[in-house]
């Protein structure tokens, strides 16, 4: 039977892993490839590399990193951050990425999803959606959660799935960084609304939070950064805990 996936996320700046609180006070946290190898050994099912300050000038540093990751890592990985064109995606895939995550650019031009899935296949198109609960509904945010849009989360997720997105990476701005648990309700609503896998992100603090996001939130995968990075939760221990709670995992 298909298992639920545990996905550590690595924040990247200038080709290095960085860590901070709410993207502020960033400090160097080492070589991403070394950290990625550690996660693989601990039993991560996939990895996500998010370039948090991606600009065109720095794209070359990112592609070199992607190439190094692809040579050294034997599990699938996604690369995201500032991806806005077919050319961006082509460069990242040719450097060895298995999937590319797009976010703001797709919201501004939804047909980008269609073009990318036609050209490269749905399996490599991960749509990032950042959401926040406001005025009694879940709204989609742009630019890493800084700009509110008039789109509603479920409607956008459905449209993206129809356009050919392969997976949805759903981040709740309300939960992100709180360590108080995932935003279960919107995760469940979107997972039930679309026929593609949903990766839940934002709020992981305890092993029980992962049980909740799979059992109640119906997520297909769960993503977290700091709890893994700072070894507050060890991936193998987490998977044993999930198994004890009757959740299928790869051990």
Partner 1 sequence: MKVAILKYNAGNIRSVSFALERIGITPVISDDKDEILSADKIIFPGVGEASTAMNYLKEHNLDRFICSLKQPVLGICLGMQLMCAYSEEGETDCLGIFNKRVKHFVPPPENNKYGREGDSKVPQIGWNNIYDLKSKLFEGLKEKEFQYFVHGYYVELGENTIATTNYIKQYSSALQKDNFYAVQFHPEKSAQAGEQILKNFMKL
Q: Which residues carry out catalysis?
A: 11, 130
192 touches partner 1 by CB under 8 A: yes
Stretch that binds partner 1, among 147-155, 169-177, 189-197, 224-232 (CB under 8 A): 189-197
Interface with partner 1 (CB under 8 A), residue total 37
For partner 1, which residue of 51, 130, 176, 220 counts as binding (CB under 8 A)? 220
**How many Cβ atoms are within 10 Å of 57's Cβ, its own excluded?**
7
For partner 1, which residue of 104, 191, 201, 226 counts as binding (CB under 8 A)? 191
71 touches partner 1 by CB under 8 A: yes
3 touches partner 1 by CB under 8 A: yes
CA distance 97 to 100: 7
87 touches partner 1 by CB under 8 A: no
**Pattern 104-123, binding to partner 1, x per CB under 8 A?**
----------------xxxx
Distances (CA, A) of 86 to 11, 72, 83, 105: 23, 26, 9, 11
CA distance 177 to 153: 20
Stretch that binds partner 1, among 31-39, 74-82, 132-140, 233-241 (CB under 8 A): 74-82
For partner 1, which residue of 33, 37, 61, 70 counts as binding (CB under 8 A)? 70
Q: Is the dihedral of CA 216, 11, 72, 63 positive or negative?
A: positive
212 touches partner 1 by CB under 8 A: no
Phi, psi of 207 (to 5 degrees): -65, -35
Stretch that binds partner 1, among 29-37, 136-144, 213-221, 233-241 (CB under 8 A): 213-221
154 touches partner 1 by CB under 8 A: no
CA distance 107 to 85: 13
Two structure tokens written together for 201: 């992100």
List interacting residues with partner 1 (CB under 8 A).
Answer: 1-5, 40, 45, 70-72, 74-76, 93-94, 96, 98, 120-124, 166-167, 188, 191-198, 218, 220-221, 250
């Amino acid at each position: 039977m298909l298992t639920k996936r545990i996905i550590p996320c690595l924040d990247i700046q200038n080709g290095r892993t960085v860590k901070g609180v709410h993207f502020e006070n960033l400090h160097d946290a080492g070589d991403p490839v070394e950290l990625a190898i550690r996660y693989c050994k601990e039993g991560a099912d996939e990895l996500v590399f998010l370039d948090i300050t991606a600009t065109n000038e720095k794209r070359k540093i990112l592609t070199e990193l992607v190439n190094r990751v692809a040579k050294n890592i034997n599990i699938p990985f996604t690369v995201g951050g500032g991806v806005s064109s077919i050319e961006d995606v082509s460069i990242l895939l040719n450097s060895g990425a298995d999937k590319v995550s797009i976010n703001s650019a797709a919201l501004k031009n939804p047909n980008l999803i269609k073009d990318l899935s036609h050209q490269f296949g749905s399996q490599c198109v991960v749509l990032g959606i950042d959401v926040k609960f406001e005025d009694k509904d879940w709204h989609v945010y742009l630019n890493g959660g800084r700009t509110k849009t008039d789109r509603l989360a479920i409607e956008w997720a459905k449209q993206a799935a129809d356009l050919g997105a392969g997976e949805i990476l759903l981040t709740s701005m309300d939960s992100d960084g709180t360590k108080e648990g995932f935003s279960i309700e919107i995760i469940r609503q979107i997972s039930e609304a679309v026929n593609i896998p949903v990766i839940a992100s934002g709020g992981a603090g305890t092993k029980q939070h992962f049980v909740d996001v799979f059992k109640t939130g119906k997520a297909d995968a769960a993503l977290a950064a700091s709890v893994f990075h700072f070894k507050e939760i060890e991936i193998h221990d987490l998977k044993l805990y999930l198994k004890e709670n009757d959740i299928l995992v790869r051990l």
